[in-house]
Amino acid sequence: MNTDYIRYVKMIAQEGNVSRAAVALFISQPALLKALNKLEARLKIKLFNREKRHMVLTEAGKVFLADGEKILALVEDLQKDMEAMSEEKKETVTLGIPGERGANVLSLLLPLFHSACPDHRLKTVEGYSEMLENYLLDGTIDLALYTLPVNTESLAWEKLADDYVVIGASKHSSFARKFDLSQNSLYSPYYISPQMLKGAEFNLVKKGRGTRRIAEQIFAAARIHPAVYQEYDRHQTLVRISSITDQLCVTPCHTPLQLGIADDMCFFTTERELVNRQVIIAWLKDRKLSKEEKKLIGLAKAVAQKVGQDDPCSFHVVDAILR
């Protein structure tokens, strides 16, 4: 039996009227009535009682619809199983990406890739920088979208976008109260002597994470060893907490903007030029990229630039103005 007949009976029962059911099914009223009459003739039983302008299921109709809905459910499950098997047969490109970056990037990247490469499936694996590099080395993933530095010579990489980094603090912190903040903003961080950070406490992500690596680079370049007040798994969490507490943090510029807390914070740098933690996509050096993987790299570059800072010229370092 054609499952359309079951759907027709179900809609007529719901609407209680052939005309309204026909509209809902996007077919003509005569065509629907003809199908119902044909079905009842084949079954040799009435499924509906015609009561004036209202159609009411007979007892036989109720049994037909109850069993018919079970058939529809089975057909739907079968379709889903077949679609899943079809999806599994597609070639897969596996991309590793940190969770927080994925939250900003994947909603844009996935539909672009599926449109450009409909015969391929993009699978994603989350992890922090060190973990993603290990996944590349052991073949768990094909590509990794994260940030410099790269801690192994076995990887090749391509820059996707700039990711400028500053030291952030709450405007109400004891550190901030040392400065006249009249010219301070995310786009005009103050240049300070590294010595001014001595004794300051920092909230940092745990070791191996991308922002922890860049924080350690900044500290090493400044030849300081600031105290770590608390370590977090998620970078966004520590930035939000640092915006309301006395501890400092190291953060890419886009994070306070995305969290909507840039106006609650003040920003500093220990170098005349802002540290640029470049966003990259990496792969094994000796691995030949497929055309789909090359396409993904191009799409990732467009998306990374869109969600990052598009105008590096808008940043201007200002000499610190002390109180």
Q: Are residues 48 and 174 in the same domain?
A: no
Q: Are residues 137 and 176 in the same domain?
A: no
Q: Are residues 104 and 80 in the same domain?
A: no
What is the pairing mode between strands 279-284 and 143-147? antiparallel
Q: Are residues 292 and 155 in the same domain?
A: yes
- The pLDDT score that the predictor gives to residue 209 is 85
**Could you list the residue range(s) of the whole structural domain that residue 204 is in?**
164-277+314-319
Last residue of a domain, one of 43, 61, 87: 87
CATH code of residue 194: 3.40.190.290
Tens digits of pLDDT across the chain (323 residues): 688 889 999 999 999 988 889 888 888 989 999 999 999 999 999 999 988 778 999 999 999 999 999 998 998 888 877 766 655 556 899 999 988 788 778 989 999 999 999 989 899 999 988 899 999 999 999 999 998 888 899 999 999 988 899 999 999 999 999 999 999 999 999 999 999 998 899 999 999 888 898 899 999 999 999 999 999 988 999 999 999 999 999 999 989 988 999 999 999 999 998 888 889 999 999 889 999 999 999 999 988 877 755 455 578 999 999 88
CATH code of residue 19: 1.10.10.10
How would you classify residue 149: left for phi > 0, otherwise alpha for psi between -120 and 50, otherwise beta?
Answer: beta
Q: Are residues 272 and 283 in the same domain?
A: no
* Burial class of residue 290 in the structure, from the number of CB atoms within 10 Å of its CB (0-12 exposed, 13-18 middle, 19+ buried): middle
What is the distance, to the nearest Å, from the Cα of residue 284 to the centroid of all Cα atoms in its chain? 24
H-run or E-run covering 189: none
CATH code of residue 95: 3.40.190.10
Q: Are residues 207 and 269 in the same domain?
A: yes
Last residue of a domain, one of 55, 87, 119: 87
Last residue of a domain, one of 58, 87, 116: 87
Structure tokens at 104: 């900003």
CA distance 145 to 95: 7
Q: Is 23 helix (H, G, I), strand (E, B) or coil?
A: helix
**Looking at the 3D structure of the chain, how many domains does it have?**
3
Q: Are residues 56 and 132 in the same domain?
A: no
What is the distance, to the nearest Å, from the Cα of residue 96 to the centroid of all Cα atoms in its chain? 12
pTM over 0.75: no
99 Cβ neighbours under 8 A, 6+ residues apart: 126, 234
